[in-house]
Amino acid sequence: MRCVPSGIRDCVIPFFEYLVWFVTHYLMAAAIVHGKRMKALRRVWKPQLIESTSPDAHDLYPDLV
């Protein structure tokens, strides 16, 4: 995956309209800490993290409904 530079953001990843990834937490405080850590990651690392933990990623929405 490569980044495409743009004037609006530092990096725009092609073919990603919305990148959604979630982790369940039992405590709200843990969820907040995790969310802040994820926001601190550089944008390029997020898709790499998702691809490394779930290489056969698919749309989870039908499973949630």
Question: In terms of residue numbers, what domain contains 49?
Answer: 1-65
Q: What is the pLDDT of residues 41-54, one digit of tens each?
A: 766 777 777 777 77
Residue 50 phi/psi, 5-degree rounding, is -65, -45
Which of the four pLDDT bands, split at 50, 70 and 90, describes residue 13? Answer: low
Closest CA to 19 of 53, 38, 46, 56: 46
Of 13 and 35, which is predicted with more confidence? Answer: 35
pLDDT at 1: 46
pLDDT at 27: 93
Number of domains the chain contains: 1
pLDDT at 39: 80
